[in-house]
Structure 1
């Protein structure tokens, strides 16, 4: 069987703010779908009210994605074909603990406390520190309250 292409989709109140946070947090690139959207608008395949301006270019109002800068992407659409997070606007607020979360690995060259401080400066908050026989990590929340861990 051939490996499947996948992305992690995350519900959000503000997809563009979430994409900006996670791009800075992970060192990822916010996808640029501007040229693709302009072609769809010009052909009459999408209405302008489904778009906004983000980073000086046309973007989908209710979707924003980030991708690893070294992974391939389709130049015609700007859509990544590798490690990718897609944020989609939903009307309801987050109400419970995530059933799936991201683990950020600070790596051997970085100090976990320094990484936690950097993420706090981007808008994340510390929920708790965990110290168990299996390891140590910090549980944090992104600006919309989605939990993630820093190891």
Structure 2
């Protein structure tokens, strides 16, 4: 039996990372604001756990993105399929990733995709051309490596 999963990334700024990766992957930033507002109104959570970002409420220490075609929980806004969850941590990234995302551009569109991602905060690391393929290594706004092939 296949299991559900999500990729969790430690980050200093979960909301900024969510916006970057939503743009990079064509995903949607999850909207948990209705749930957060209900929990605040009921006194279940304290306002200190929340933050306003881009005009809506988010959890202060977490944000997520989900594939736009996958199901989601209409009550919480949480994706039930392919998603990335960004959790705030106090320490900065210090070493090379042991796991990274490969983004597959349409044929002939890699350079355009790299340029678009750089406009949204990615940094070019290097271009690789080997007998087995060609790709571009970049980092996201917090220095996490990823590739565009």
**How would you bin the TM-score normalised by the shorter chain?**
over 0.9
What are the residue-to-residue correspondences of 1:1-151 with 2, within 5 Å?
1=1, 3-108=2-107, 110-151=108-149
User: 2 CA distance for matches of 1:145 and 1:114?
Assistant: 21
User: 2 CA distance for matches of 1:67 and 1:41?
Assistant: 24
Alignment partner of 1:37: what SS? helix
C-alpha deviation, 1:25, in angstroms: 1.2
CA-based RMSD of the aligned residues comes to 0.9
Structure 2: 5+ residue stretches without partners:
none
Once the two structures are superposed, what CA deviation does each residue of 1:37-94 show, in whole Å capped at 9, x if it has no partner? 1122222221110000122111100000001111100000000011101001000000
| Greater CA drift, 140-149 or 20-29 | 20-29
User: 2 CA distance for matches of 1:134 and 1:11?
Assistant: 31
- The TM-score normalised by the length of structure 2 is 0.96
Structure 1: 5+ residue stretches without partners:
none
